[in-house]
Amino acid sequence: MLFALTLFLAQVPDLDQAFDAMTGKGVPTEVTLGFTRHEHGMVVGARINGKGPFYFVVDTGAAATVISDKVAEQSGLVPTGKKAHVVGISGKRMHAWVGRATDLSVSGAKARQMEIMVRDIKGLNEQGLAGLLGQDFLGRFHVNIDNKGQKITLALPGEGKPPVVSSEEKLMREILDQPDRLADEIGRLDLSLASWLRLYQEGESSERADRKKDLDAWITQLRDRRRQFERVHGTLHAAPTARLSGERKNNLQRYLYCYPAYRRYADSVIVLADALSESWTVDAAPAVGQAAAAVSERRKALAGCAPKL
């Protein structure tokens, strides 16, 4: 059983192998996105210079956004020549260098020509996290955090309500946006499942007992998001493809090609999550090992979609 769990953790993809971002989308005045609960806090997907998704801990108490040297290289961050000193959680002063990103975006909320600190954050990187998202990004928006619904809303100051759009325009936006959303959702599943498996493998029984309610809340969220994606899929599957051309047609074809593999993967994650919940205080439960093996196989199949998205 431990072999199956270790095999899955080893298959969580490197961030530089994540699906390519789509381009050419407008910038909304307000976006709402889901976040994943992690031991370090709220985690959201972001793109730097169109690369990613990279996964950040939302840190409303941090003045600056921070990433590692590896992520800086992967995202094409341009050094500014500036140096900085930052104080970590432990109070220790650390050296950092500063790079400039053409843009940093979170689900369409975008900051342009943003300076980002780069330093050693090995502890986060080892858990598949790119860094911390600080107030130099968050402070550009009105931020509303819905902890119960596990959602964050980012709105541009003074913009008021977004303009009313037609149902056809909404459909066109969905076609442009959904490949990115699907890629982000797959990354969220990878990251959150790896975190829960790690706790199941390595956590003390008392620690696991304390987190049982959080685990069950995560399972509820999994089912809700699975239903949300299925509803959108029904709309896109019925889209009038004969009226589409260029980027929209290509996006829709890529998305429809990959969605069945995502569906099978998401369903297997829910089965594994249920097995974890039922066996949460039992070490090396056979049901968990069997479900983890199924997840590993379906994740392998989904990896073949990367060139398609």
pLDDT in tens, 200-236: 888 777 778 888 888 888 888 888 888 888 888 887 7
Across the range 19-36, mean pLDDT stands at 55
pLDDT at 267: 92
What's the whole-number mean pLDDT along residues 268-286? 86
- Average of per-residue pLDDT values in the chain: 76
For the ranges 26-30, 189-193, 257-261, the lowest mean pLDDT is seen at 26-30
Q: Which residues are within 8 A (CB) of 28 and not within 5 positions of it... i.e. 6 or more apart?
A: 108, 109, 162
Average pLDDT of the residues in 184-196: 84
Q: What tokens were used for 60?
A: 């409303």
Q: Which residue, chain included where needed, has tokens 């002063």? A: 93
Q: What is the pLDDT of residues 55-105, one digit of tens each?
A: 888 887 777 889 888 899 998 988 888 887 665 544 456 778 888 988 898
- Give residue 131's pLDDT: 86
Q: What percent of the chain has pLDDT over 70?
A: 77
Q: How confident is the model at residue 207, as a pLDDT? A: 78
> Bigger pLDDT: 268 or 15?
268
Can you read off the two tokens belonging to residue 8? 């899955």
pLDDT over threshold 80, residue 246: no
Mean pLDDT on 110-136: 83
171 has a pLDDT exceeding 50: yes
User: pLDDT-derived band of residue 172, with 50, 70 and 90 as boundaries?
Assistant: low
Of residues 49 and 251, more confidence is placed in 49
pLDDT at 19 over 60: no
Model confidence band, residue 119 (pLDDT cutoffs 50, 70, 90): confident
